Structure 1
Amino acid sequence: MKLVRYGEAGRERPGLLDAGGRVRDLSGVIDDVGGRWLLPAALEMLRGIDPATLPAVEGTPRLGAPVGNVGKLVCIGLNYADHADEMNLPRPDKPVVFMKATSSICGPNDDILIPPGSEKTDWEVELGIVIGAPARFVTPGKALAHVAGYTIVQDVSERDWQQNEGGQWVKAKSSDTFGPVGPWLVTADEVPDPQALDIWLEVNGTRMQDGNTATMIFGVAEVVAHISRFMTLEPGDVIATGTPPGVGVGRTPQVFYKPGDRVRLGISGLGEQAATLVRDPR
């Protein structure tokens, strides 16, 4: 099942994709995609609905982030060995956990704003985990039972702020639009092995990142279990699991986003994002 949120920014409605890829309106069934509607019983109820009985959405609506009112956006850093190498950083022996402000979340195809003063805005395509059942001190063997599904997250990052502004990475990761999510939430039953997904990103048609989730240092189950030791993961929380090599700061010479760039990224079975980079006028 593929769940979406569509419509004007800030006023998105819940929906799902039918077998033909058309958006069907779920607003007569649930009030949003998120929170209690991602609990296992709620997802089972939604699976029992015949999409043909739901109103079809005309045209090609804007897609918002497929999860509403995200409580936490938790990120894992340096989770691909070859990405750690390109950053000239040691490969971690435990997951590197940091937070990204939820105010950075935007739709998968919305413009990405280069903030005032930024000259090193960079890309990172990541597998996103969406929590379905509360997780607190879970073991890796039971962690996947707490996952509602998967999506795509672009962890947009300002490298000068990350490296030279002091403190934690959150400052470099949390500008408005630095967290495109979507296009949809694919429920876990449709992703039999989250460690076997091709993951890629292109800028202006040039392939920059090309990897597979099999090369993660810490897989999905271990990531969920590890984070749940330090905070309760709740339905609708999103975890960005790290990026493969090919980021702009790791290239020679370094390359960063500039106004007018077009970025396209995807993960096998989870869809694609496509956005334009725009200089924030403020």
Structure 2
Amino acid sequence: MINIRRATEHDKESILSISKTIWDGDDYIPLIVDEWIADRKGEFTVVEVDGEIKGFAKFTVLGPEEYWLEGIRVSSKSRGLGIGKEITKYYIDKAKKKGYKSLALSTYIENYESIKIVEKFGFKRTAAFKSFYKSGKVNLNISNIKRFDRVTRVEEVKHILNSSEIKASNGYLSFDWTFMRITEELVEELINEGSVYVLKEDQNIKSTIILSNKKAKGKGLSISYLSGEGYYLDGINFAFSKYLEGGYDWLLFMCPDIQDIKEAAYKAGFETYGDYQTDVFVYEYI
């Protein structure tokens, strides 16, 4: 018998036991399990089969009527029992009861079973990105980094709301593996957090970058947005400098499918998970 309920502190050992079998033991769940259990706005959910925890997932509230699904995991010995389908249906029903404008998730290209399940339930792919990451040391000549200044007023960067880079991202900003629709209110929030920077030449903005640790799984930093044709490499090198300065464990960049930006990311020394043109997909329940 399958039972779905909110996770408690007593479930932690079982949750971590399942997590150890994911991604060769390199799963991020141990970094955020306490935070997820404590989240009362959202819901960290476990799935029991005959009284034993066999899977779990997270329902996160991004904003009014905006929900995000993440961390769907099923015990390797319990796959094929329909656990992934049950928890997906549970969250769809939960979102419907709450009333929703958006119910979304992201997944890697090789998560074939997850993609099959969410598409079967009516989720539609709304955006695709190329994931780049860097951890450890970076070979960077700090003296060559161009100066980016913090933005203090949303009026300075309203142009990004309709930029070609945002259009290529279908309106999303990325925060780790979480994607949020750009709004003037969100940009203003990021400005207040000190996360938005611009590069100016002759008083004209040439590049805009958003660097944020919002939604990070552990001590990570994300390039949430980058614009400025001809200045992409400057923006990425600035991001590397902030990554080093802040003592972060990794830098993540969900890059829109724009060849010039991807070439700059490769040139800067970013690493990738594979040779795919795009490898991270955003799905929304339609």
Q: TM-score range by the shorter chain?
A: under 0.3
Q: Which has the higher helix share?
A: 2
Larger relative contact order (Cα-Cα within 8 Å, sequence gap ≥ 6): 1
TM-score when normalising by structure 2: 0.24
Which structure has greater strand proportion? 2
Larger Rg: 2
